């Protein structure tokens, strides 16, 4: 049973919610906390007009009250509005996701770090909301730390610089092929090496 959680939510008005969380610990306890995160997000995201910073603050408070003091999760939540081509997000202690910008033959990776601390550890944590304007060809990659920390047989980590390079290499492909290539690169790196964390990533490409 893993401690990674990802979700896609239909929010109305063509908006989509993208969530990714990494719960501390393993096994049944982590899976139970993950289910609390999922249920809380789905209830709160249905509240009309709730701001993302408020949503994550409420999730933090509920998780703090509902679990042991040592329980917490890193959490990233974004809402994509295709009509306005905007992405609003809160990063609660999670590995900063990437927005790959492709423009005039050049590529640049922007990291989404605005937010606050992990959820579930502090009762009154405050969060900030970030906004990104999206352009055709932009790629969003959200991932858990198991991806850059994936080990090869020599116990070397895949690393974020290699992850960014692979993302740039596959950026011109349709998103389904991007996912396949990214998965293959990770499998080729890992080979038969033992892994100590879950590997989860989500890709979105702007048309």
What is the rounded distance in angstroms from the CA atom of residue 134 to the CA atom of residue 102? 11
Write down the pLDDT at residue 29.
78
pLDDT surpassing 70 at residue 106: yes
Position with higher pLDDT, 20 vs 104: 20
Q: What is the 3-state secondary structure (H, E, C) of 41-85?
A: HHHHCCCCCCCHHHHHHHHHHHHHHHCCCCCCEEEEEEEEECCCC
Angle CA 37–38–40, to nearest 5: 65
Among 113, 130, 129, which Cα is nearest to 55's?
A: 129
Q: Which domains are delineated in the chain?
A: 4-205 (3.60.40.10)
pLDDT surpassing 80 at residue 60: yes
Which band of pLDDT confidence, cut at 50, 70 and 90, is reported for residue 12?
confident
Strands of the 98-103 sheet, one edge to the other: 106-111, 98-103, 139-143, 201-205
Write down the pLDDT at residue 68.
72
pLDDT surpassing 70 at residue 1: no
Cα torsion 168, 171, 177, 179 to 10°: value is 60
What is the rounded distance in angstroms from the CA atom of residue 123 to the CA atom of residue 116? 13
Q: Which residues contact 165 (CB under 8 A, 6 or more apart)?
A: none
Write down the pLDDT at residue 28.
75
Write down the pLDDT at residue 66.
85
Among 8, 18, 30, 19, which Cα is nearest to 197's?
A: 30
pLDDT, one tens digit per residue, over 21-59 is 999 877 777 888 888 899 999 999 999 889 999 999 999
* Burial per residue of 113-144, b for 16 or more beta-carbon CB atoms within 10 angstroms, e otherwise: ebbbebbbbeeebebebbebebeeebbbbbbb
DSSP-assigned beta bridge partners for residue 23: 73
Which band of pLDDT confidence, cut at 50, 70 and 90, is reported for residue 2?
low
Q: Which residue is associated with the tokens 């998103």? A: 175
pLDDT, one tens digit per residue, over 61-94 is 999 998 877 789 999 999 999 989 999 999 999 9
pLDDT, one tens digit per residue, over 149-174 is 999 999 999 999 999 999 999 999 99
pLDDT, one tens digit per residue, over 118-154 is 999 999 899 999 999 999 999 999 999 999 999 999 9
**pTM beyond 0.75, yes or no:** yes
Write down the pLDDT at residue 156.
97
Write down the pLDDT at residue 31.
81
* Burial per residue of 159-173, b for 16 or more beta-carbon CB atoms within 10 angstroms, e otherwise: ebebbbebbbebbee
């Amino acid at each position: 049973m893993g401690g990674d959680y990802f979700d896609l939510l239909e929010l109305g008005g063509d908006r989509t919610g993208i969530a990714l969380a990494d719960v501390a610990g393993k096994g049944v306890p982590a899976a139970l906390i993950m289910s609390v995160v999922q249920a809380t997000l789905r209830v709160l995201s249905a509240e009309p007009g709730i701001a993302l910073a408020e949503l994550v603050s409420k999730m933090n408070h509920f998780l703090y009250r509902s679990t042991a003091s040592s329980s917490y999760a890193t959490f990233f939540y974004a809402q994509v509005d295709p009509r306005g081509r905007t992405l609003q997000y809160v990063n609660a202690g999670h590995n900063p996701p990437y927005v790959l910008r492709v423009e005039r033959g050049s590529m640049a990776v922007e990291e989404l770090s605005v937010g606050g601390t992990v959820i579930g550890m502090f009762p009154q944590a405050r969060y900030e909301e970030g906004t990104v304007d999206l352009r055709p060809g932009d790629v969003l990659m959200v991932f858990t730390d198991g991806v850059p920390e994936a080990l090869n047989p020599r116990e070397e980590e895949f690393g974020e610089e290699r992850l960014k390079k692979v993302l740039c290499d596959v950026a011109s492909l349709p998103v389904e092929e991007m996912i396949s290539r990214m998965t293959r690169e990770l499998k080729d790196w890992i080979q038969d090496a033992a892994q100590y964390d879950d590997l989860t990533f989500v890709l979105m490409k702007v048309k």
